[in-house]
Each structure stands twice: as C-alpha cells, then as structure tokens.
Amino acid sequence: MVRFARSLFGALMLCFISSGFAQSLSPTLKVLFSFPCTVNPQIDCPYGLAPTRLMESVDGNFYGTTANYGTGLNAQGTVFKMSRSGTVTVLYNFAELPDGSLPYGSSPERIIEGTDGLLYGTAGFNGPYGVGTIFTLNKTTGAISDLHNFCMKTLCTDGAYPSDLLQALDGNFYGSTGPSGYPADVLYRVSPSGTFAVLHTYDSKSQPDGGGAFQPFQAANGDLYGATVAGGQNTPFNSVFRFNPSSKAYTILHPFDWPNIAESNLIQASSGELFGLQTNSILYQISSSGSGYRQVAALSATQFSDGGILQASDGNLWGTFYGGQCAGQGIVFAATTAGHVLHTIVFDCNVDGQHPISMFQASDGKFYGVTFGYGSASTNSVWNGTIWELDAGLPPPKPSIVAFSPTAGGAGTVVLLQGAHFIGTTTVSFNGINASYTVPTSGFIRATVPAGAKTGKITITNAGGATTSTQSFTVP
C-alpha cells in the first residue's frame, strides 16, 4: 500500500484554484489516540471500541462516543472526553445495571452540546423499550438521564433506532430514526424538558422519500434540510428534503433512484447552494429551492461508500470516503465547488484506522475525526478505532451567522445567534457597538443588546476574522 506523504512542504503553494483561494500546505495526518483492546482471557476495551462521533466543546475539550464495550457488565459503548493533548477519559459506560437492564440505551450514535451546557445524545439500541433513547449527560459529573425512550407509544409511532440530532434556533432538538422500516422511520422534535412530537413519517405510501436522515441542518430561512438514508423501494430510494418546523410542510427537493443514491450529509455552501455526495464518490449540487440539480464530478476513482462533506475555511469542500483496500480504507479529499480535486489523503488501515467518519474543522483550523475500526492498537483482529487530526495549514474558520432571535429589541434584550465556529469569539457588536455575550456552544451565542446600539447588523469576530449578518437587528 502506498501511503500519502506525511511531511509538510516548506513553502506555501502559490497557484490559485478556481474558487479564488490558495491551495493549502500538504496535509499531515496524525493519530491522536488509538482505542486499546486486549483479548486475554476475554475482550477488554476500557475506553470503548469503534468510535462513532467527535465534537469540539466550548470548554476546550473534544467529546465523542464509541459503539461498543467500555467498563462494566456487558458494556455496549461509551461517552468520552479527549483533551487537546490527546488524553482520553471515559465519562459514561453504557453498561448493564444489576437487574440486567440498559435504561439509557446502548451503542450511542451522536452527541451534541446544548445551549444549557449539557451533552445531548442518541443511543441506537436498548433502553426501556429496546429500540433506543435520547439522553442527556453532564460533562462535569457524568450524570446521565433519559430525555426520551423510543417505542413508548401504541404501535411505536414515535419511531425506533434514533441516529442524528441537532438543536434549532427555537431551542428544541430535531432528529430522525431509522432507517429500519420497523415500525416507522420518523423526523421528530423533542424539547429540553422531554416533550416529544413526530413531525413526519418517512416512506409513506403517498410520498415515498426514504427513511432516516444524514445529519440534517437548519438554514437561514428556518427550514431543515437533509438527505434521507434509505428507502423501502427502489424508486425513489432516497431523497433531498426540506422541512418547515412551523408549518410542518415536508418537501422532496430531489429523488434518487438506485443505484445512484445519496450517500452523505448535505451542506449549504457560502454561495447558498447545497452540496452532497452520491454513490461512486460523485459530488452533486442543488439549490435550496430544489432547482438546478446536477452531478458536478467524481471526486475519487476508488472510494465509493458513505462519506461526509463540509466547507472549510479555504472555501473548498473537504470530506471523507471509505472503500478500496481493507474493506473500509479511508480517504480525506479536498475539492473546489466546481469539482476539481486538490488533495487526496489515503489512510493506512493498520495505523490510521479505517472507515473515517465525523470529520469537522475545529477552531484551530485543523480537521478532526474518528475511524470506526482498526488502527495501531488493534489486537487479534479486534475492531478498535482511532481519533485523528489532519493539519492542512488552513486558517481558523471565521464565524458564520445563520439567524438570530428575537430580531428586534432595546438595550438589555438577550439575543440568541445561531451559526457556526463561535468557539474563540473575541467580540460581538450591534451596528459597531460592542456587546456582552456568552458562547454556550460552537453553534450559538447569547448576546445582550448594548446601551447606545442602533438599528443595524450584528458582527462576530474570532481568530479567523469577522462576519456580519445579512439581516439587520432593529432597535426601536
């Protein structure tokens, strides 16, 4: 296997790509932590096995989940914390209680940081009714509680096997279950106090649209966008969708037929266009209204399975694929929005791990993620996993402002701003007047309208630069 070179070039590449940004330095891949397991006399994986998620917290640490093992009776996953230096601590083991139950579920899928400082997550299996839970976890004490147990209603109309989760500007959490087809795959809303509502049932006979969702997001218009994972029939197999939380209107923007299906999350680039990945590593583009769908380009000739995609601080699209050698060999790619491939970083399965997922750009400009299996800590073919860092020499990402609420108010009004890359914020200003603020998560800021502020736009500044809102805040 030919591995990608791991040394940084000594000089900045001076050629410019079509998007107008200079190419980054040759990316350097580094394993920060390999999940260790032993097999004598039985499998022992104290930190868990097969990591599934990683996120950056405002407290300076990273938090993540593993799908199996840990410490305790029949442990089936963990929530862990990792320091910047790579020290990993387990916060919670999803282990059986003395009565044999797993009340908070097992195989945690996703965790996010809520605006109240708690971690919110989904566990894909077990719980009181056997098909998953939504839980909250205190980062400091490790105290866990159930927010919702799936399949607690007649005929399980609230879905089963939850996966992704997001917090919206209204303070509620939105997510999906499945895809399983049993007994129903749904899009749901749950409040921080646990009030649960089904918003849409996927794959109904009147509107076949797939089931489950790849990490939906909330756009500036307040709508949720995403791509469904899989359907019960071949036409269509899955789709790009838009959902309005207020009207509960669900719209299929583009259907995908087998075998050319959607295989990644959906993002909205700075241009306003939506991008995602299809089978065979094809980048596709579509407008937020659903018009103008087109296949842009194939980003890899060898990687073909589920991937992830984001827009980084250089303006380019970065993401992951897996396939090729060792079944799940990973690739991190960088490409322009026109589909020109800039970088292809190939993982060594026996060192870096395989099946890279959960990639994001952190506040220091580097990329972080996990591999679901293998890596240097593998023992006797135990499926382990790694936490990795990719330094491409990119600047820290500047903040992006999606929306804010309320949109008007006098001095002293607390405004919740929604966006991304808020960690490391240095100033928040209302029409040039600095405001006091707190940063509860990477995606939210609470700012207080300062005395003397007048109607105008809101500006947020961090190490990556300053961003000004497109909408003005009205001061009566």
Q: What number is the average pLDDT over the span 317-344? A: 92
DSSP letters along 370-422, please?
EEEE-STT--TT----EEEEEE--PPPPPPEEEEEE-SB--TT-EEEEEEE--
Query: Mind listing the pLDDT tens digit for each residue in 354-388?
Result: 999 999 999 999 999 999 988 887 666 687 899 99
- Read off the pTM: 0.92
Report in angstroms the alpha-carbon separations of 393 from 9, 22, 309, 314.
Answer: 10, 11, 19, 10
Higher pLDDT, 415 or 5: 415
CA distance 229 to 211: 6
Does 428 lie in the same domain as 404? yes
pLDDT of residue 14 exceeding 50: no
Question: Which amino acid, 400?
Answer: S
Q: What is the band of 306 on the pLDDT scale with cuts at 50, 70, 90?
A: confident
Indicate which CATH number applies to the domain containing 420. Answer: 2.60.40.10
Does 324 lie in the same domain as 274? yes
- Calculate what percentage of the chain has a pLDDT beyond 70: 91
Last residue of a domain, one of 397, 415, 437: 397
How many secondary structure helices (H) and strands (E) does the chain include?
A: 0, 38
pLDDT of residue 269 exceeding 70: yes
The total number of structural domains that make up the chain: 2
- Of 45-59, 92-106, 233-247, the range with the lowest mean pLDDT is 233-247
Does 274 lie in the same domain as 350? yes
pLDDT of residue 351 exceeding 70: yes
pLDDT of residue 21 exceeding 50: no
pLDDT of residue 9 exceeding 60: no
Does 341 lie in the same domain as 295? yes
Q: What are phi and psi of 27, to 5 degrees?
A: -65, 140
- Of 39-48, 137-146, 230-239, the range with the lowest mean pLDDT is 230-239
pLDDT at 6 (0 to 100): 27
Query: Mind listing the pLDDT tens digit for each residue in 418-470?
Result: 999 999 999 999 999 999 999 999 999 999 999 999 999 999 999 999 999 99
Domain membership of residue 113 (yes or no) is no
Structural domain for 3, as ranges: 1-29+265-397
Q: Which of 454, 459, 457 is nearest to 476 (CA)?
A: 454
Q: Which of 97, 92, 90, 84 is nearest to 36 (CA)?
A: 90
Distance of CA 145 to the CA centre of its chain: 22
For the chain, the average pLDDT equals 90
